[in-house]
Amino acid sequence: MRKIELKEVQQLEFEILRYVAKFCDENDIKYYLGYGALIGAIRHKGFIPWDDDIDILMPRVDYEKFINLFKSNNKFDIVNFNLNKHCLYFHTLVMNNKTLIKPRGASEGCDYGGVYIDIDPIDNIPNDVKIYHRQYKRIKFYKNIFYVKLLKKRKGRALYKEIILFLGRNTFKFINLNRLAKLIDNISKKYSSIKSDYVACVFGPYGKKERMHREIFEETIEVEFEGELFKAPKGYHEYLTNLYGDYMTPVPPPENQESYHNFKAYWKD
């Protein structure tokens, strides 16, 4: 198998983004660039140079509409635990099905699919921050179980961590990953039907910082990403500041320029 280097991974992800954005526009599905992809759009007008990650956010109703309407084809697959009981993710991805990836530290024998972009839901959450924190803690507990089941033994990892992982894998070995994914999703959308001033990607990587005022996402604007225009929340400054602080800070030194995903990608034979 031929390894796919960073620039080519970025190009493959950009092709997926273009396809998904066009599909959303044609089907009246609201989406926004999020996380590092949005920083890249605002700060670099494209990818953060060393990054290999694209996230799209969608309000819950649009997220579920996307899952119901989007179909896999001869180039791109939609991956979601409700569509595939062997799915190894608790959110939704669109993948290039001519490629495959091998995440660092992941269990052998698992099919992680190919180069992808993430699709994450934005859900209503309670105005009471204490209730939201309890919701997030439940999510974090089940996410940790999910990751423990996927991690393999690795050289260089501290002995106490290996012991914890060994105990965790044996404790939770009978818990099905698909069931865990559904549980995480159900907790995330628990308050979807309430009227609330706040929203969050509840299982997002930044935990309590994910809590945002809904006005941030009520309107969209277009931002440039790799020479083309894509949707972003009009309140992108508040969104990025909430997650990262000064997101326009000059680029970090080379030793800190690391990809979030940290996987190796290959072309299938």
Q: How far is CA 94 from CA 24, 125, 164, in A?
A: 13, 26, 33
The structure's pTM equals 0.89
Q: Looking at the domain assignment, is residue 118 inside a domain?
A: yes
| 269: in domain | no
* pLDDT tens digits for range 157-198: 666 666 666 666 666 676 788 888 999 999 999 998 898 999
44 within a domain of the structure (yes/no)? yes
* Of the candidates 91, 90, 113, the residue with the CA atom closest to the CA atom of residue 103: 113
Select the highest-mean-pLDDT range: 19-28, 109-118, 169-178, 257-266. 19-28
Residue 267 lies in a domain: no
Residue 171 lies in a domain: yes
What are the tokens at 99?
């490629």
Is 268 within a domain? Answer: no
Q: Which residues of 174-198 are buried (b: 16+ CB within 10 A; e: fewer)?
A: eeebeebbebbbebbbbbbeeebeb
Tokens matching residue 213: 């005022």
Q: Percentage of residues in the chain with pLDDT exceeding 90?
A: 66
In a domain, 60, yes or no: yes
At residue 91, the pLDDT reads 92
User: Which residues make Cβ contacts (< 8 Å) with residue 23, sequence separation at least 6?
Assistant: 29, 66, 69, 70
- Give the pLDDT of residue 153: 60
**Tally of structural domains, the chain:** 1
Q: What is the dihedral of CA 149, 154, 158, 159, to 10 degrees?
A: 80
Inform me whether the pLDDT recorded for 255 exceeds 70.
no
**265 within 8 A of 6, measured Cβ to Cβ:** no
Domain contains 121: yes
Domain of residue 201 covers 3-262
